[in-house]
């Protein structure tokens, strides 16, 4: 596989190393002259000096025959535009963009640039999982399939408490697929009664989070 990596920061350099070890052909593009010289001592001809947002730099790196372009510079606009031209102008089959500021994830989505990987977002997910007080945890997002799985801790005075699953009146497109109780987890039946302190896993269409959360978590319990 031929991979072009834009940006020779910590992420780009280590990524290139790993890819080279696995017998891929790699070209890293770095626009900072000093950084380029440092990285070049190890990667030699596998690193090019230049601004990867410029078309001729991408062409010199052989973007026309690239199987994968990974944009991991520290600048979200650059990553977005590098991936955009790779995908739409040079028809590179696969792209991966790094998103430095999670607030920009929306931009990547809007312009159809994905997958966009945000380290901040990944760590935040882990924190949410480790700190259940957050109320709602995203366990899985499948944007292509338009499905999500969330985990909720049922608060004491939530509307769902003491109700059977079949009486919950959840919106269309949502389904309780598992209940975790002190004794362990199980798949609920229609007559399973929800208890305070249960952790419920819900499969849902994206966007239904708020409508579902209010059944299981009351205002003051939602942290």
Partner 1 sequence: MFVLVVGAGRVGASVATTALRAGHTVSVLDEDPLSHERLDVELGETWESAGGRFTIGTALEMDALEEAGIAGADVFIASTDGDNTNLVVSQLAQKRFEVPKVIARILDPRRAAWYAEQGLHTVCPTAIAIDQLEKAALGQADAVGRAGDEGA
| Tokens encoding 169 | 């009146």
Nearer to partner 1, 78 or 151 (CB): 78
Nearer to partner 1, 25 or 32 (CB): 32
What are the backbone angles phi and psi of residue 137, rounded to the nearest 5°? -120, 130
Question: How near is the Cβ of 77 to partner 1 at its closest, in Å?
Answer: 4
Q: Where does this chain touch partner 1 (CB under 8 A) — which range of 7-15, 49-57, 143-151, 212-220?
A: 49-57
Q: Which residue has the tokens 């000096």?
A: 49
**Neighbouring C-beta atoms of residue 99, cutoff 10 Å:** 25
| Tokens encoding 165 | 């699953």
> Residues 32, 54, 121, 199: which binds partner 1 (CB under 8 A)?
54
CA dihedral defined by 210, 215, 221, 223, rounded to 10 degrees? -20
> Residues 1, 37, 55, 123: which binds partner 1 (CB under 8 A)?
55
Question: How near is the Cβ of 179 to partner 1 at its closest, in Å?
Answer: 38
193 binds partner 1 (CB under 8 A): no
DSSP 140-184: EEETTTTEEEEEEEPPTT-TTTT-BGGGS-PPTTEEEEEEEETTE
Q: Which residue has the tokens 């290139």?
A: 16
110 binds partner 1 (CB under 8 A): yes
53 binds partner 1 (CB under 8 A): yes
107 binds partner 1 (CB under 8 A): yes
List beta partners, residue 2. Answer: 25
Chain residues in the site for partner 1 (CB under 8 A): 53-56, 75-78, 80-81, 85, 88-89, 103-104, 106-107, 110-111
């Amino acid at each position: 596989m031929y991979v072009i990596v834009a940006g020779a920061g910590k992420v780009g350099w280590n990524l290139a190393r790993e890819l080279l070890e696995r017998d891929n052909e790699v070209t890293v593009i770095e626009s900072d002259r000093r950084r380029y010289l440092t990285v070049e001592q190890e990667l030699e001809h596998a690193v090019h000096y230049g601004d990867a947002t410029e078309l001729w730099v991408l062409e010199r790196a052989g973007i026309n025959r690239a199987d994968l372009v990974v944009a991991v510079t520290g600048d979200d606009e650059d990553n977005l535009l590098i991936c955009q031209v790779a995908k739409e102008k040079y028809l590179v089959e696969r792209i991966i963009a790094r998103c430095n500021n999670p607030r920009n994830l929306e931009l990547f989505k809007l312009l159809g640039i994905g997958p966009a990987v945000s380290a901040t977002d990944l760590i935040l997910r882990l924190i949410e999982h480790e700190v259940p007080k957050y109320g709602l945890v995203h366990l899985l997002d499948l944007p292509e399939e338009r499905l999500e799985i969330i985990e909720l801790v049922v608060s004491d005075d939530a509307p769902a408490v003491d109700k059977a699953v079949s009486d919950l009146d959840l919106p269309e497109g949502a389904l309780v697929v598992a209940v975790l109780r002190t004794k362990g987890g199980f798949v609920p039946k229609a007559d399973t009664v929800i208890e305070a302190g249960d952790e419920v896993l819900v499969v849902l269409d994206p966007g239904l989070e708020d409508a579902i959360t209010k059944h299981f978590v009351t205002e003051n319990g939602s942290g």
